[in-house]
Amino acid sequence: ARGLASQIGLELGEGHWQVIKFLREDYKEQGETPMLRRVANMSGVSTKELFLLFPKKPAKKMAYIAGVPKPHGCV
């Protein structure tokens, strides 16, 4: 994840890892990548924080770094 994050100019901190762990666990349990709203509601990281941690396209960037497919409906 660190290598992928550095490729897109992000340095991973505690908040990033919280989201990455949630995405990986939820994907494993549900069989699909959670949408941004589910991540915000269930990970303990607000939508506003997600946009600060993963600027511009948070859903796509989070999935990329976590190594899961981008969510359905994500362009």
Domain boundaries, the chain: 2-66
CA 53, 58, 61, 66: dihedral to nearest 10 degrees?
Answer: 70
pLDDT at residue 1 in the model: 86
- Name residue 48's amino acid: K
The residue among 25, 39, 38 whose CA lies nearest residue 68 is 25
Written out in words, the top-level CATH class of the domain with range 2-66 is mainly alpha
Residue tagged active-site, from 4, 12, 35, 74 = 74
pLDDT at residue 44 in the model: 92
pLDDT at 55 over 70: yes
Read off the pLDDT of each residue in 13-29 and give the average, rounded to a whole number.
96
- CB 26 within 8 Å of CB 42: yes
Radius of gyration of the chain measured on its C-alpha atoms: 11
Q: Is 61 a catalytic residue?
A: no
